[in-house]
Amino acid sequence: MVRQILPISALLLGSALLLFAGGMNGLILPVRGAAEGFSALSLGLLGTGWALGYVLGCWYTPRLVAKVGHIRSFGAMAALAAVAILASALLVSPSAWIPLRGVSGFCFAGAAMIVESWLSERADARSRGKIFGVYTMVNLAASTAGQMALTLGDTTGFAFFALGAIFYCLALIPTAISSTTSPKPLVTVSLDLRALWRNSPVAVFGVFMVGISNSAFGTLAAVYATNVGLVLTTIALFTSLPILAGAASQIPIGILSDRMDRRKVLVGIAGVAALTDLAFVLLASTDPMVNLVLASLFGAMIYAMYPVIIAHANDHAAEGTFIQTSGGLLMIFGFGAILGPLLAGLSMATVGDRGLFLTSVAAHVLLILFALLRMRIRQAVPEAEKSDFVFVPPAKASTPETVALAVRDGVEDDAEDLAARMPETADTAPEAPAEPEAPDTPDPGPKP
């Protein structure tokens, strides 16, 4: 294990520094914004700006890397991210922070894709799973540490903005001095909504709803916690524990979804998430422990939905289209993530703090109803024909390169072939997946 990890230690360190800065950047803005009296709508638009920038970064970075190379592109992304957080400290207003947050999202997506492409290049079929697991754990730990670091000082000053910029710049060093050979061109995936819908309507609709819910919570959770009177340490836990719980819950939920209809699993976890939404709305508790327990349960559900949806879509996808399917759904998630903070911000501005979870419960109920409808139309994929469940980090931190790094064994060749074709196919849509294996026709009778 050590022999496999040591050659990529510089890349893992660069990723950790990047995620540490990103975790600090993502929490300092809503906390400081709430202290400055920014409206809930303005703070929600920070998440909309981030998601829009992130989607654009996933789309444009492969083209930039093709022109100037990996190291120069990564340097530009990290430097621009540092500029954005420093400018946020100098220009304390929503009109400046929203576009600057979009710049941060763009840079973060680009830098993450470049690091992940290096890691993917160094991983073979035998080590890919271990490398991806270590990479995910490093990122989760670094992001959580960045958020918790805010408890060590005063968030009303300049210090944490400067520290965030410092760590963005430090992330430059490991990749700049690494002797690792630059990898092949980055993976890029063009959207083919018709093909994705034919493949799995539940996946397309579900990932859009999950994008709305997850991004609303990810952006405005700190604002909600601040408004209900939690102290800074508890606010940091309130935002970080759900992500860690979501990572841990993927193991049992993934095993369960491999053994039964994944749509039933999706309905189940969406139902628990909806009940947790209602608990937040009805209890409106100011007790720190109650809020942390509810937030952890909520995160365990919402951050496990995305990988279940990806696995369900790939159960129906044609062989060799893992990256196109998963990458396309990731972009649809991004569109939901653009809309979610905006809707939640409007809701909070209208009905108060509970508006955050009213937005989320609406998304979860719509997902449940649509999945139940589709279960009456299409039969489940036989267990023997299912693809393997793949652990996926929270989609806000995922890129098309994350998908390529996550694939294993037989799918690895497809990832390499796709990457090799990028220079010729960067501006063209990938071949649409074949028709789904399961026919989209009514069942002959009611399901048991």
Q: Domains, the chain, ranges and CATH?
A: 9-180+397-423 (1.20.1250.20), 191-392 (1.20.1250.20)
In this predicted structure, the answer to whether residue 225 has a pLDDT above a threshold of 90 is yes
Q: How far apart are CA 365 and CA 44, in angstroms?
A: 22
Mean pLDDT of 264-288: 93
Q: What single DSSP character describes residue 434?
A: P
Residue 33 one-letter amino acid: G
- Say how far apart CA 80 and CA 94 lie, in whole Å: 19
Give the pLDDT confidence score for residue 7 in this predicted structure. Answer: 64
Structure tokens at 279: 């608990």
- The model's pLDDT over 373-399, given as tens digits with 9 standing for 90+, comes to 988 887 766 666 666 666 666 656 677
pLDDT at 370 over 70: yes
pLDDT at residue 365 greater than cutoff 90 = yes
Say whether pLDDT at 408 is over 60. Answer: no
Q: How confident is the model at residue 331 (pLDDT cuts 50, 70, 90)?
A: confident
Q: What pLDDT shows up at residue 404?
A: 67
Residues 25, 31, 36: CA angle, nearest 5 degrees: 115
pLDDT in tens, 12-53: 888 899 999 999 998 999 999 988 989 989 999 999 999 999
Name every residue whose Cβ is closer than 8 Å to that of residue 82 and which is 6 or more positions away in sequence: 164, 165, 166, 168, 169
Token pair belonging to 122? 């160094």
Distance separating alpha carbons of residues 217 and 224, to the nearest angstrom: 9
Whether pLDDT at 154 is above 80: yes
DSSP H or E segment with residue 272: helix 262-283
The percentage of the chain sitting over the pLDDT mark of 70, rounded to a whole number, equals 77
Residue 334 · residue 55 · CB < 8 Å: yes
**Rounded-to-integer distance, Cα 138 and Cα 405, Å:** 15
Tens of pLDDT, residue by residue over 94-132, are 999 999 999 999 998 888 888 887 777 776 656 666 777
187 pLDDT more than 90: no
**Residue 10 pLDDT:** 79
- H or E stretch covering 324: helix 322-351
**Band of residue 415 on the pLDDT scale cut at 50, 70, 90:** very low
Residue 324's closest CA among 208, 188, 428, 420? 188
3-state secondary structure of 294: helix
Answer whether residue 367 shows pLDDT above 50.
yes
Confidence of residue 82 (pLDDT cuts 50, 70, 90): very high
Q: Which of 349, 19, 365, 328 is nearest to 198 (CA)?
A: 328
Name the percent of the chain in helix, strand, coil, to the closest 5.
Answer: 80, 0, 20
